[in-house]
């Protein structure tokens, strides 16, 4: 059996991460062990280290944490009940890192464990680095758009794109990784997509499929989007705030759309349910706030039935581009520090 190494968060707010030996993950039914080739950095990784939030949520748990939600690599071992991948396959994977117990065991290690339902084959033409851009952000975007308890939009077809359905969706923060996934998904599902970004990302958002892009730094951004939606004469199926804190502007927009015209009154957020988030203060009464679900059958469908085919057929682009900060677990601290300095339409990736 190979030996494992991990980049450990050894204490509350400790830095840098300490790279040292780690136990080999234990294979459980319904799970896959993956030899890590590339790791995507997420905002929550940096936040866990900076804020010490695990210590606050799980004060009784000894502090030895392996962070990381996103990974790509080679399947090392699969449980007997897993049939869609086998040892040696190239895959991308999302792992919640077993976060519920407070003893996270995520992707910041040479071998990681993932639930089989969040493991998808990575076609030969897609690099591990590009594959590591997607996992958790695709999960967040797909759940928010498609789950009936969130926006409940139509799913994209397994192959190709749906024909235009005459409906508009607003996705705030098209330059974020989550927003980039949401813009592409909504477009493939047949919606007209309005999004927001900095001006330098307008072209990037259009290339993803956005029909109109608005500068969120403009003070009149909400009235501008409102006027554009009204001009289409189409039904608006809701808004998704794809960056923390952007949901309130989405709500302000949705509030002003008359429900008598068939517009939705729902705003989906990236605030996960069950983590102590509440509806933001001053939220308009006539607008529904939908938290991000931790479980969604629609998202499972996307991973099992759709993702590998969309990557193989090139209907799906691994966007934004990865910015690789280095090769080796030692670079994970640098990766988080790089994200903390600010990113714009980029995913920070560490190769392993
Ligand atoms: N629950 C989960 O498992 C999970 C997983 C992943 C992400 N998330 C959450 O999802 C959100 C997005 O994550 P991410 O990785 O996609 O972030 P990211 O790519 O690191 O976010 C940076 C981007 O956000 C855009 N942005 C920032 N503030 C904005 C605003 N006020 N309006 C419009 N755009 C804005 C910027 O766009 P410009 O460059 O165009 O200015 C920038 O490109 C975060 O809040 C994160 O915590 C949750």
> Residue 224: its pLDDT value, please?
98
By alpha-carbon position, which residue is closest to atom 41 of ligand 1? 198
| 171 Cβ below 6 A of ligand 1 | no
* Six-digit token string for 312: 């193989």
pLDDT less than 50: residues of the chain: none
What DSSP character marks residue 105?
Answer: B
Q: Is 47 in the pocket of ligand 1 (CB under 6 A)?
A: no
* DSSP run (H or E) holding 349: strand 347-351
**Is any ligand 1 atom within 6 A of the Cβ of residue 153?**
no
Q: Is the CB of 93 under 6 A from ligand 1?
A: no
> Which uninterrupted H or E stretch holds 254?
helix 247-255
Atom of ligand 1 nearest to the CA of 244: 45
Q: Which of 221, 229, 154, 233 is nearest to 186 (CA)?
A: 154
Q: What is the crossing angle of helices 247-255 and 221-232, to 10°?
A: 50
Helix runs in 69-176, H state only: 128-131, 135-146
Residue 165's contacts (CB-CB under 8 Å, 6 or more residues apart) are: 154, 189, 190, 191
What pLDDT does residue 273 have? 86
- Cα 215 to chain centroid distance, Å, stands at 22
Can you give the pTM of this predicted structure? 0.96
Q: Which of 329, 330, 335, 334 minimizes the C-alpha distance to 349?
A: 335
The whole-angstrom separation of Cα 322 and Cα 221 is: 29
Residue 171, strand partner residues: 195, 240
Taking phi over 0 as left and psi of -120 to 50 as alpha, with beta for the rest, 276 belongs to: left
Q: What is the whole-number distance in angstroms between the Cα of residue 40 and the centre of ligand 1? A: 14
- pLDDT tens per residue across span 258-302: 888 899 999 999 998 877 889 999 999 999 999 999 888 898 899
CA dist 179 and 18 (Å) reads 32
Residue of 39, 118, 175 best suited for mutating to test ligand 1, as the one with most atoms within 8 Å of CB: 175
Q: Is the CB of 244 under 6 A from ligand 1?
A: yes
CA dihedral sign, ordered 113, 116, 119, 122: positive
Strands (E), 3-67: 4-8, 18-22, 31-40
pLDDT of residue 114: 95
State the closest ligand 1 atom to the C-alpha of 96, by its place in the atom list counted from 1: 3
State residue 102's pLDDT score: 60
How many angstroms is it from 167 CA to the middle of ligand 1? 25
Q: Is the CB of 196 under 6 A from ligand 1?
A: yes
Query: What is the reported pLDDT for 277?
Result: 87
User: Whose alpha carbon is nearest atom 25 of ligand 1?
Assistant: 176
First and final C-alpha spacing in the chain: 19
| Residue 235 exposure: Cα atoms within 13 Å on the Cβ side | 14
């Amino acid at each position: 059996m190979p030996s494992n190494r991990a980049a450990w968060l050894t204490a509350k707010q400790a830095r840098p991460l300490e790279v040292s030996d780690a136990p080999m993950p234990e294979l459980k039914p319904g799970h896959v062990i993956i030899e890590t080739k590339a790791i995507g950095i997420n905002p929550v990784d940096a936040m866990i280290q900076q804020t010490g939030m695990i210590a606050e949520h799980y004060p009784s748990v000894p502090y030895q944490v392996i962070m990381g939600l996103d990974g790509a690599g080679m399947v090392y071992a699969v449980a007997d009940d897993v049939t869609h991948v086998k040892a040696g396959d190239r895959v991308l994977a999302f792992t919640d890192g077993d976060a519920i117990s407070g003893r996270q065991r995520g992707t910041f290690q040479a071998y990681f464990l993932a639930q089989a339902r969040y493991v998808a084959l990575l076609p030969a033409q897609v690099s591990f680095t590009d594959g590591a851009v997607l996992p958790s952000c695709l999960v967040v975007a797909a759940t928010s758009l498609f789950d009936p308890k969130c926006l409940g939009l139509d799913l994209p077809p397994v192959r190709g794109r749906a024909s235009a359905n005459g409906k508009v969706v607003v996705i705030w923060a098209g330059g974020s990784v989550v927003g980039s996934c949401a813009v592409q998904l909504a477009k493939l599902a047949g919606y007209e997509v309005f999004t927001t970004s900095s001006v330098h990302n307008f072209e990037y958002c259009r290339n993803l499929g956005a029909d109109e892009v608005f500068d969120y730094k403009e003070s009149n951004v909400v009235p501008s989007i409102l006027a554009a939606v009204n001009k289409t004469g189409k039904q608006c199926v809701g808004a998704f705030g794809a960056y923390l804190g952007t949901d309130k502007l989405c709500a302000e927009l949705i509030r002003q759309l008359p429900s008598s015209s068939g517009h939705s009154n729902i705003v989906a957020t990236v605030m996960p349910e069950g983590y102590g988030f509440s509806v933001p203060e001053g939220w308009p009464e006539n607008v529904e706030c939908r938290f991000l679900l931790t479980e969604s059958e629609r998202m499972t469908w996307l991973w099992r039935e759709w993702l590998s085919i969309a990557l193989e057929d090139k209907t799906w682009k691994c966007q934004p581009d990865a910015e690789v900060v280095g090769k080796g677990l030692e670079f994970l601290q640098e990766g988080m520090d790089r994200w903390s300095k600010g990113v714009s339409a980029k995913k920070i990736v560490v190769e392993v």
